[in-house]
Structure 1
């Protein structure tokens, strides 16, 4: 079940530009105040999960002053720059204009659980994605990442009632994985140039954020969260769900519940094509048989039970009884979920590998943090914690 090797998944070294590491002296703070980037303040505040009122209280200024700073109407004094950096846990140069910046808004991202995701957490998630893009952009100055390989679907396919299933089949064909299970789904997405991250960027609140994606950047970004990684099959379905958004909903406004249903249908067809899985489904809902199929195809038993009903293999009554039986067995600590740890092909590593290659050729973590004006813990969070250290080969240009 190993994916076919492809040069698209390899990284090649580019020229390493010089990195400036400035000190935070009085002259620097004055220069930052003179070239203050209001959008950076908004990003840092949202990442910190603070309101304008809370930031104002920490600095001893009025909320109106903070609002004016974020609106670009006025700029903070040099001493306020230093205090802002402390409160928002960034380096003072973070607020300087002139660095590459990808701006996103709430309409640019598909949230898996939009209705139960508070606006503050959506803002935090979007700000996090902006920083993921900045990290990828900085690494791409040194390392050649795989090109983005997502096909554009014809209008007649997108307008068809069976569009999600057709889109899934077309993507399988485009990626040359028409037959059988898709092993290493996350790794497959990364080799097609999609940035995937798995990080507790919002702490305990990642359970409400769930997962989200955006195609409104020059590289699509999929953000998966640790609460779904406690079950590798749920994690894979979530990744496939977000992939469905990237393929089908890149040019449409987000927030429509119908899009979430379509992404689920895409994920089911992409992971378990009906033409291939239907002959394998048991005539009776035998949980032992479904457990074997679950391990083979990399999807949950719940997903297969639903698939049985979806393709018309069982009645609604049999479907409900199977779910009830499975829930009873789970309460007895049977059919336990399997965490994603140990499944290296389902843990994102593209950004980590890119940094490791750049690091082997002279870039230090400290230099990269200085370039991005981030503290080291934040940079490590963006890079992710690698569980494997894969062997790397430079690609000759």
Structure 2
């Protein structure tokens, strides 16, 4: 997919990139006014410098001031390559009504950096191509069953959702956003699907978020994956994918307590609430049983936490990539330097794996060099 490059303004020997200033500002959740105050400019001047066809480039000292205020390298602001545009309507934000505009823009910025990192990985490694199907128009439950068949999952519990996504070519990144309003989101960029997961969530909820975002990818490709109806569809897809009705139905007729639910949830690695809801949907629980269990679970605080929770899942692909770079003498800080990005932005998106020392002086895809091939197992 071709890129649309910004018309950058010339500086002595360098080029200032308005799209990168805008990304850095939105990632730091600063308004024009807030950034202007930090660098000693007017809000209008900052706004003008972000325009694609800015009539004049900022002086070198102003660029350095932007760099200090935003904690982004000067080289990032002077990099010629424009930042990929991600349209808001293509992103599966779950809580748009409760999300502040600054949080929404910052999340989209994280998506843009994720695409930037993936571009580097695509040029360095033989990444796994996507085979995520398009089930637009199908009932979510049927779509989940079809996907299990297509991906040869049977009815077994899914061992690791992130690994499953990566095995089928989904680019999975972590989010360190300190807000529950941005818990997870996904989008398609060309033929490549992306999922971003908030690392503040419990292991069970993160698994459900991953399945929920997969639901958006397969059900709403080419549409606008936002709104209550779309969220309900993605939830139904996730529930059936993680807890197939055929594996839940045999428990019909059993006597349930909150203690038995807490034991059973480990069969599917889901939250107690998610299991209760799926049992009600699968007619395993009567209305009275369902309401009773919801009341008990709520009193125990299980809407926001888990008892005897599972470990949060992480990216296998990112670990393999960073391990490979580490063996070549590459650290995450130098990787960030190579990408002209702040270390915190890179580490927060790659599940905060740590690697030691780096040298990216020689290109991994130079002529005659074979790019490392990455494989993911279930």
Query: TM-score, structure 1 length as denominator?
Result: 0.80
Task: Supply the distance in 2 between the matched residues of 1:57 and 1:48 (Cα, whole angstroms).
Answer: 14
**1:183 aligned onto 2:159:** yes
Tell which has more relative contact order, 1 or 2 (C-alpha 8 A, sep 6+).
1
* Residue 104 (structure 2) aligns with: 122
Task: Supply the distance in 2 between the matched residues of 1:395 and 1:336 (Cα, whole angstroms).
Answer: 39
* Residue 86 (structure 1) aligns with: 68
* Residue 212 (structure 1) aligns with: 185
SS at match of 2:16: coil
**1:52 aligned onto 2:32:** yes
8 Å Cα contact 1:330/1:336 also seen in 2: no
SS at match of 1:235: helix
Deviations 1:209-249 (A, max 9, x none): 12111113543221111232xx3222211111111011111
Post-superposition shift, 1:289?
Answer: 3.4
**1:297 aligned onto 2:268:** yes
SS at match of 2:230: helix
Q: What is the Cα-based RMSD across aligned positions, in Å?
A: 2.6
Greater fraction of residues in helix:
1
Deviations 1:309-336 (A, max 9, x none): 21223322221111112333458xx962
Post-superposition shift, 1:29?
Answer: 6.3
Deviations 1:81-133 (A, max 9, x none): 11111111111111234336322122121112222111110100110111112
- Distance change >3 Å, CA 62–CA 194, structure 1 → 2: same
8 Å Cα contact 2:92/2:225 also seen in 1: yes
Deviations 1:238-261 (A, max 9, x none): 111111011111211232211000
| Gaps in structure 2 of 5+ consecutive residues | 1-9, 357-371
- Distance change >3 Å, CA 282–CA 194, structure 1 → 2: farther
**1:361 aligned onto 2:328:** yes
* Residue 282 (structure 2) aligns with: 311
**2:137 aligned to which of 146, 156, 159:** 159
8 Å Cα contact 2:94/2:226 also seen in 1: no
- Distance change >3 Å, CA 80–CA 388, structure 1 → 2: closer
Query: TM-score, structure 2 length as denominator?
Result: 0.84
Aligned residues: 347
8 Å Cα contact 1:148/1:193 also seen in 2: yes
